[in-house]
């Protein structure tokens, strides 16, 4: 009997230590909200070098070479990337951390061996590679994402939402099971709607010729922005896709424009958050892509395991718990599998304990880890 009492006491003490330590870890994090924005299939080369001289021509679908050179060409890579993604380089890189510039020995890559979208997003959301997730077929992902895992917790229940231009997003996040809003493709937004959201729903429903697989990024983004303002989720994901659609069409001009709009969308969403007391000073912004693309020449138009460069990615973080280290140089390699646990850690949660297969937290991104 005495041994049983001692065992119970020891168990209770261990549980108390676990709870206290967990609470202490959560308490020291300033991040209460996550905004995670991805642009599909955008190469690291344009992110870090800006427009490519080799691709700015009619052979790569540029409709007006002179106009696009005036718009995006500058003499140095730093000038070119700043004119292409001004918010990224004047705000995020200045106040956060950016990974993936291989010219500076800061590698970022996917771990999955497929190098295309569905497996790429699944790896990012779940934190590990599932060999069974190996196609872009519209089949519900059997794996639980970090978003679903967070939504099961009382602190985040009903405060998670995801929007994606690609209709596959509903399958990647398994909206039937997930328990939170997943708006993919031309899905109409439901719930608390503003007049503007109702108009956006009507445009989605009444415009002929729109593709559910790849509708305009503008429809996805402004629907997401209105939802964000009306519902104030704590964990918010947005994916835009024309940086992948345009290369597949051999339209380098549209690809550059899509990258520029992505940057502006991130800026709008960030400023909207900073204008609300629920987010100001307590929100971390994360940016990334699901895969890379081939190199200049014909390879840039597509991506696959057979196309070198498709595994190369990039990522960026900015928020109250991320030390300001800027554009990383000579940094340890990061992978898409690291993002899920890093999201959780920024919110004071331990995803690795719940999902041991997940990649580790990027310690440099999370102060105190």
Identify the pLDDT of residue 8.
42
Q: What is the pLDDT along the chain (369 residues), one digit of tens a residue?
A: 455 544 445 544 444 434 444 444 455 899 999 999 999 999 999 999 999 999 999 999 999 999 999 999 999 999 999 999 999 999 999 999 999 999 999 999 999 999 999 999 999 999 999 999 999 999 999 999 999 999 999 999 999 999 999 999 999 999 999 999 999 999 999 988 999 999 999 999 999 999 988 899 999 999 999 999 999 999 999 999 999 999 999 999 999 999 999 999 999 999 999 999 999 999 999 999 999 999 877 799 999 999 999 999 999 999 999 999 999 999 999 999 999 999 999 999 999 999 999 999 999 999 977
CB 96 within 8 A of CB 320: no
What pLDDT score does 3 carry? 53
Q: What homologous superfamily does CATH list for 31-354?
A: Alkaline Phosphatase, subunit A (3.40.720.10)
pLDDT of residue 297: 78
pTM over 0.75: yes
């Amino acid at each position: 009997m005495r041994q049983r009492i001692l065992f119970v006491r020891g168990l209770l003490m261990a549980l108390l230590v676990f709870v206290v330590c967990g609470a202490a870890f959560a308490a020291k994090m300033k991040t209460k909200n996550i905004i995670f924005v991805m642009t599909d299939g955008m190469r690291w080369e344009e992110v870090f070098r800006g427009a490519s001289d080799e691709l700015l021509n009619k052979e790569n679908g540029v409709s007006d070479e002179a106009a696009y050179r005036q718009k995006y060409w500058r003499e140095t890579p730093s000038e070119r990337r700043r004119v292409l993604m001004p918010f990224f380089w004047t705000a995020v890189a200045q106040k956060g951390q950016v990974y993936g510039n291989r010219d500076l020995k800061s590698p970022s890559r996917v771990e999955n061996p497929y190098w295309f979208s569905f497996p790429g997003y699944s790896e990012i959301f779940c934190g590990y590679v599932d060999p069974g997730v190996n196609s872009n077929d519209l089949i519900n992902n059997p794996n639980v994402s970090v978003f679903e895992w967070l939504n099961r917790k009382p602190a985040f229940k009903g405060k998670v939402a995801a929007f994606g231009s690609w209709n596959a997003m509903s399958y990647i996040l398994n909206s039937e099971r997930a328990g939170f809003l997943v708006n993919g493709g031309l899905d109409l937004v439901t719930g608390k709607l503003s007049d503007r959201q109702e108009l956006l729903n009507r445009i989605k429903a009444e415009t002929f010729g729109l593709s559910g697989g790849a509708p305009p990024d503008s429809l996805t983004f402004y629907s997401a922005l209105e939802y964000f303002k009306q519902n104030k989720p704590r964990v918010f994901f947005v994916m835009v896709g024309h940086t992948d659609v345009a290369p597949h069409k051999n339209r380098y001009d549209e690809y550059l424009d899509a990258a520029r709009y992505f940057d502006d969308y991130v800026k709008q969403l960030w400023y909207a958050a900073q204008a609300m007391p629920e987010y100001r000073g307590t929100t971390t912004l994360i940016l990334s892509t699901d895969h890379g693309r081939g190199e200049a020449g014909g390879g840039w138009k597509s991506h696959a395991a057979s196309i070198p460069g498709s595994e190369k990615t990039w990522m960026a973080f900015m928020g109250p718990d991320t030390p300001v280290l800027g554009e990383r140089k000579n940094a340890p390699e990061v992978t898409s599998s690291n993002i899920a646990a890093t999201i959780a850690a920024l919110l004071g949660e331990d995803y690795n304990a719940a999902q041991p297969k997940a990649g580790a937290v990027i310690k440099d991104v999370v102060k105190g880890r």
